[in-house]
Structures are given as structure tokens and as C-alpha cells.
Structure 1
């Protein structure tokens, strides 16, 4: 597991956060992003994340990247992709507050990545690590993704899970979702719509930053 987030003052109260899957939620679902030219933000993503920033909700990206474990691309490319994500978001006045990556897979080409870890979604290790690092309240947080593995991860961590219909979302809703015990609290057309729903929940709680 790798990640980074804002340092948390030990005495500060725990905060809710918005956890975002990467591929299919933030950027176009292209299979493995094995070249920088394949990374493209989805429409309105920068605007949506900027809105969360404005309202004081930490934004944390949590992503499985088994392509690294399978040897499809090097760690340097993954770093470059994430640097490009940060750069493109900044052009829209948006930022992420944390980034946590699972590079593992039980059938990894490289031995250092070959394990059944606790951080590969739908397991909850990435969210739990972010919560420890950043002082987050998982029970008041949100998990947004385009796969049922994202929803199961969020639910298992105690967060409110949302499905977006970008990426694999529409197909998962039709063909995977009906047989699942875990169901999304909300189904959104895209991240921008998901953020509007989240902000409405926070308004009802009286929890939005002024």
C-alpha cells in the first residue's frame, strides 16, 4: 500500500471525506493506463472536485493499480500519470488532498507485489490508512466509484457509497448490481452529479463549511 495525505493534528476532530476511485470515475476508463497519452479527465471532474475543495471536504483518491503488479507498466509511469492528474485538476482550480494506491495482486509478476493484501478494493485498507493519516471519520465519509468493488469497499468501511454511471458503472448497474447484497445509497450520472448529492446530504446535516 502506498499513499500520501495531509498531516493531521492529533487534537483536531475527525472529519468526513470524499473517497474517489480513479479509473472510470475521475478519468476515462481505458483498461490499463500504460502510457501517459491514455490518461484523460472525464468532463466536469475538475469542477466537481473544486466544489468539494470549496466546501472543505477532503478529497482522497483510492485506486487499485494491478497493472504495476502484472508488469504492464513501471512505477515511474504510475507516478507520471498521477502527476498529470494533479496538473490537469489544478488547471480547473481543483486539488486532491490524499492519494492511496494498491499495487498488489496475488498473481503479480514481481514478487514484491505478489500478495493477498488488505488494501486491494473491495478490502478497506486504503480507506483505513487514509483515515489514520488524515484524521478522517469513515462513518461520515463517502465512497464514489464505477464498480461494485468500490461500493463494497465503502460499505465495509462504514462509508456511504455512491455509484457513478461513467466507466463500468452503467454496465455494473445492469448486470452486476441486481444480485449484490450491497447497494449504492445513490446512483449518479457522473462525478459532478454525485458531488451535488453529497453536498445536499452535508447541508441537511448542517455540516458544510461556510
Structure 2
């Protein structure tokens, strides 16, 4: 069985500016490459799970998002870091168009993306780590059985009800990766 460092995207990998789907709008969070490189050197696969309800709202398309993910993974490769896979949820339960306006098991805090990644990549979730910046990220990790959860505090507040290592700076995530 393999282990993974799961990463939320907006606010963890890139600065959260809302509906980022173009490379020219994408700015990496300072320190994210160092954290990912460290985890990769310890044998963690790097997997991104991200809610992308901009698709449901018609702000951007799945094709545009796929183009951005390819670019993002290439930027990581330039840093000698491999993003194993990216999983995204295009749905929203109330604010969406057509097939995207649904309740699903992939939109965080539901664990669907994590569980799908675990099956696809033969992951041991008990040995894996989740690094997120919203309570929904941490709840999804908890719902999937990931014990090591790291919450990057900042723009979104945590109500304290979900156990996680709380960090103020992405670089300190390294202290919780072993």
C-alpha cells in the first residue's frame, strides 16, 4: 500500500482569489514546493482534491480547468515534484447549471475524491496526510479515515470542532509530515 499527501488547491497550492482557472491568474503559495518536495522525498504520492463549483456556475469549463491542471503539474515538474493525480468536484448542490447542480459524494466535506484516489492509487489512508485550509477539507479527510490532518489557518476560520494540526504558515506543515 502507498501513502499520499493530499492537498487542497485554492489557498494551499495557489493564492485563493476565487475562480482561478487561467495560468496567468495562478500564483503559488510561498513554500508549497518545499513542503511537497519534502513529502515526496519521504515516499508520499502527491494528490490534489479540490472543489471547483465555478464549473457548476458556468464561470469556466472542465476543459479550461484541465488545461490549468496540466500547466500546474508542469510547474511542479520544473521543481522536480510529481503531482500523482488531481481530483476535482464540479458540482454544487444549489447554485449550478444542468447536470452540475446536484448533491454528490465528491464535494468536500464528503470524502468521495479521497476514496476514489485511494482505490485508484492503492493508498493506505491511515498512513496518509491531508493538508487543507477549510474545515470542509479537514472533515472530508476525517470522513475518509485520514488521521494526520493539517489545517492552514487564514482566510477561513475553523470552529475548533474538527481535530487537526493548526498551522499559520505552509512551511510549518513539514513538522507534521513523517
TM-score (norm 1): 0.78
Q: In the TM superposition, what whole-angstrom CA distance separates every residue of 1:107-135 from its partner, at most 9, and x where no partner exists?
A: 35431212100000000000000000011
Q: Do 2:130 and 2:141's aligned partners in 1 also have CA atoms closer than 8 Å?
A: yes
Cα drift, residue 28 of structure 1 = 0.6
Q: 1:194 aligns to what?
A: 173
Q: Considering only CA atoms, is the larger Rg found in Structure 1 or Structure 2? A: 1
In structure 2, stretches of 5+ residues that fail to align are: none
Aligned counterparts of 2:175 and 2:162: Cα–Cα separation in 1: 22
Q: In the TM superposition, what whole-angstrom CA distance separates every residue of 1:147-194 from its partner, at most 9, and x where no partner exists?
A: 010111111111121111xxxx32434xx424xx2121x122333321
Aligned with 1:99 (options 86, 110, 113): 86
Cα drift, residue 70 of structure 1 = 0.6
Question: Which protein is richer in helix relative to its size?
Answer: 1
Q: What is the number of equivalent residue pairs in this alignment?
A: 177
Answering whether residue 9 of structure 2 is matched by residue 22 of structure 1, we say yes
Cα drift, residue 80 of structure 1 = 1.7
| Range with greater deviation from structure 2 (117-126 or 39-48) | 39-48
The DSSP-based 3-state class of the residue aligned with 1:17 is: strand
Aligned counterparts of 1:112 and 1:71: Cα–Cα separation in 2: 12
Q: Do 2:93 and 2:102's aligned partners in 1 also have CA atoms closer than 8 Å?
A: yes
TM-score (norm 2): 0.92
Aligned counterparts of 1:34 and 1:140: Cα–Cα separation in 2: 31
Aligned counterparts of 2:70 and 2:21: Cα–Cα separation in 1: 15
Aligned counterparts of 2:103 and 2:96: Cα–Cα separation in 1: 14
Please give the root-mean-square deviation of Cα atoms over the aligned residues, in Å. Answer: 1.6
The DSSP-based 3-state class of the residue aligned with 2:55 is: helix
Cα drift, residue 34 of structure 1 = 4.2
Q: In the TM superposition, what whole-angstrom CA distance separates every residue of 1:27-81 from its partner, at most 9, and x where no partner exists?
A: 1111111433211111121222122222211111000000011100122220121
Q: Do 1:64 and 1:103's aligned partners in 2 also have CA atoms closer than 8 Å?
A: yes
